[in-house]
């Protein structure tokens, strides 16, 4: 796409590639009857009790600036939540509230990345990880996961080989978007040992930590790291509590980063909204039933979508251990972007091509199954028509 601003902004900004998700979504402008399974978002609104907590905080005048690292009661609640979930002690001074997981990624990279440095990232990965590195003028180095036939695997050598003297961090998103890959605890330990040895930071995007189906939570780097290790865990209220539109997340870091995080949080946007943070306390306290109900729905959706897709001899798909995406390749499709555009235009289903996620191979597609079963089945009918045509 031609950029009319050419030449007047930073070169790093001018050469950033346009989002392929948006490129596909543009095909759908004004279209009726489209089934959009492209965004990573629960299909239900935030539960009433959380909305009510925000409304109550608003009516109580909680509309002033919050401290730069966040409302102390929320930081305390998150420290407790984290300690209980992982059975490791996490102190309040290790928690920083951010205005979304996205902001948490940007802040973490701002601490570490500048021109001349690089970050290694397991891919395919959410494109916004690379986006933040691009904005900061650093180098994004993919460490591709391997498709084993039944699922995804990160060979640690792939990461180790990508590291050089300018590497500042390794970025791992597990459970992973788009693959649903869950990094085994033993691999986490080995990667942490490597990062310790090399003085690298480990940036762990664990926003899908609760969206796993065969255990209470995904393995976390917090289960292996000490409080002073160079580990930053990025998390968010968006997915488990269906709060995507709220912009509320948090970081768990060594306490010694607190002062610098206070500063970069202030210089980016001075934190999440005060009443939103207060609603977050209620979400943590009363949200477990909601999470359990959503997981039950996603579990059924996962099985239904997986069964239909894996039954198609032209489709390769891994069993998604976590998150809420089916990620699959269709034999014969070698331009995923073109296929997704046609799928929207002719079959009214919205998916995202794997190329949006820095996939090593063409032809992969992501479908978000956080939706109703009948909607998903209609979408799969249409997808099968598109593949057959």
Q: Identify residues 57-76 at the interface with its own copies (CB under 8 A).
A: 58-59, 61-66
Other CB atoms within a 10 A radius of the CB of residue 376 amount to 22
Can residue 34 be called a binding residue for its own copies (CB under 8 A)? no
Closest to its own copies by CB, 247 vs 366, is 247
Question: How far apart are the C-alpha atoms of 150 and 142, rounded to whole Å?
Answer: 22
Strand partners for 152: 147
Q: Does 1 bind its own copies (CB under 8 A)?
A: yes
* Region near its own copies per CB under 8 A, out of 97-105, 321-329, 330-338, 378-386: 97-105
Q: 324 or 328: whose CB is closer to its own copies?
A: 324
Among 26, 31, 45, 300, the residue binding its own copies under the rule CB under 8 A is 45
Residue 3 Cβ vs its own copies, minimum distance, rounded to whole Å: 7
Chain positions 252 to 271 lying near its own copies, rule: CB under 8 A, are 254, 256-257, 259-260, 262-264, 266-271
d(CA 181, CA 174): 7
* Nearest CB to its own copies, comparing residues 11 and 33: 11
State in angstroms the smallest separation of the CB of 84 from its own copies. Answer: 26
CA distance 145 to 153: 5
Q: Shortest approach of its own copies to residue 276 CB, angstroms?
A: 7
What angle in degrees, to the nearest 10, is found between the helix axes of 48-59 and 274-286? 140
User: Which residue from 112, 182, 343, 368 is in contact with its own copies, where contact means CB under 8 A?
Assistant: 112
Residue 4 as a binder of its own copies (CB under 8 A): the answer is yes
User: Do residues 230 and 254 lie in contact, with contact meaning Cβ atoms separated by under 8 Å?
Assistant: yes
Determine, following the binding rule CB under 8 A, whether residue 106 of this chain makes contact with its own copies: yes
Distance set, CA 216 to CA 5, 269, 291, 322 (Å):
49, 34, 11, 11
Query: Out of 82, 96, 118, 132, which residue is the one contacting its own copies (CB under 8 A)?
Result: 132
Interface of this chain with its own copies, residues 334 to 373, rule: CB under 8 A: none
Task: List the one residue from 147, 208, 213, 246 that touches its own copies (CB under 8 A).
Answer: 246
Residue 216 backbone phi and psi in degrees, to 5: -75, -30
Q: Whole-number minimum distance, CB 386 to its own copies, in Å? A: 26
> Counting contacts by CB under 8 A, is residue 12 touching its own copies?
yes
Q: Is 29 in the site for its own copies (CB under 8 A)?
A: no
Instruction: Give 68's Cβ-side CA count (13 Å radius).
Output: 14
Name every residue whose Cβ is closer than 8 Å to that of residue 237 and which is 6 or more positions away in sequence: 243, 246, 248, 249, 280, 283
How many residues touch its own copies (CB under 8 A)? 77
User: Cα separation of 385 and 47, whole Å?
Assistant: 36
Site for its own copies contains 137 (CB under 8 A): yes
CA 156 to mean position of chain CA atoms: 21
Q: Which range, of 13-21, 145-153, 291-299, 330-338, touches its own copies by CB under 8 A?
A: 13-21
- Least distance (Å) from its own copies to the CB of residue 237? 11
Could you give the residue ranges of the DSSP H alpha helices within 252-329?
258-268, 274-286, 288-310
- Identify residues 220-239 at the interface with its own copies (CB under 8 A): 230
Helix/strand/coil for 28: helix
Distance between CA atoms of 269 and 58, rounded to whole angstroms? 20
Interface pick for its own copies out of 77, 113, 231, 330 (rule CB under 8 A):
113
| Least gap, CB of 372 to its own copies (angstroms) | 16
Q: Which is nearer to its own copies, 131 or 354 (CB)?
A: 131
**Per rule CB under 8 A, is residue 131 in the interface with its own copies?**
yes
Residues in the chain: 389
Is residue 284 at the binding interface for its own copies, with CB under 8 A as the rule?
A: no
12 Cβ contact partners less than 8 Å away, ≥ 6 residues apart = 134, 135, 137
Contact by Cβ (8 Å): 91, 240: no
Instruction: Give yes or no for residue 251 binding its own copies (CB under 8 A).
Output: no
123 makes contact with its own copies (CB under 8 A): no
Determine if residue 279 is left, alpha or beta; phi over 0 gives left, psi from -120 to 50 gives alpha, anything else beta.
alpha
**Whole-angstrom distance, CA of residue 354 vs CA of residue 357:** 5
Q: Which is nearer to its own copies, 56 or 223 (by Cβ)?
A: 56
Q: Does 165 bind its own copies (CB under 8 A)?
A: no
* Subset of 166-205 contacting its own copies (CB under 8 A): 199, 201
């Amino acid at each position: 796409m031609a950029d009319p601003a050419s030449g007047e902004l930073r070169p790093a900004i001018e050469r950033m590639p346009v989002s392929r998700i948006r490129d596909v979504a543009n095909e759908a402008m004004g279209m009726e009857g489209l089934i959009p399974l492209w965004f990573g978002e629960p299909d239900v609104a935030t539960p009433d009790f959380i909305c009510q907590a925000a409304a109550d905080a608003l009516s109580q005048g909680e509309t002033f600036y919050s401290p730069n690292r966040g409302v102390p009661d929320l930081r305390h609640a998150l420290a407790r939540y984290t300690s209980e979930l992982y059975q490791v002690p996490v102190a309040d001074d290790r928690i920083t509230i951010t205005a979304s997981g996205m902001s948490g990624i940007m802040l973490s990279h701002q601490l570490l990345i500048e021109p001349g440095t690089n970050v290694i990232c397991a891919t395919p990965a959410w494109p916004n990880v690379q986006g933040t590195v691009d904005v900061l003028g650093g180098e994004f180095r993919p460490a591709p996961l391997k498709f084993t036939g039944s699922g995804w695997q990160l060979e640690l050598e792939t990461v180790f080989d990508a590291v050089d003297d300018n590497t500042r961090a390794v970025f791992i998103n597990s459970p992973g978007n788009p693959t649903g890959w869950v990094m085994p605890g033993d691999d986490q330990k080995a990667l942490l040992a490597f990062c310790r040895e090399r003085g690298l930071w480990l940036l762990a995007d664990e926003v899908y930590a609760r969206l796993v189906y065969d255990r209470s939570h995904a393995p976390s780097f917090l289960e292996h790291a000490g409080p002073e290790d160079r580990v930053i865990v990025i998390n968010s209220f968006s997915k488990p509590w269906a709060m995507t539109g709220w912009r509320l997340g948090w970081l768990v870091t060594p306490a010694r980063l607190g002062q610098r995080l206070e500063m970069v949080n202030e210089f980016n946007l001075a934190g999440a909204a005060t009443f939103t943070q207060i609603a977050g306390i209620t979400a943590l306290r009363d949200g477990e039933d909601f999470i359990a109900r959503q997981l039950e729905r996603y579990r059924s959706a996962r099985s239904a979508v997986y069964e239909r897709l894996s039954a198609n001899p032209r489709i390769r798909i891994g069993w998604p251990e976590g998150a809420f995406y089916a990620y699959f390749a269709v034999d014969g499709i070698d331009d995923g972007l073109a296929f997704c555009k046609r799928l929207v235009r002719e079959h009214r289903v919205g998916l995202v091509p794997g190329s949006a996620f820095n996939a090593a191979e063409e032809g992969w597609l992501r479908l978000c199954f956080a939706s109703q079963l009948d909607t998903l089945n209609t979408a799969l009918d249409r997808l099968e028509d598109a593949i057959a045509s």
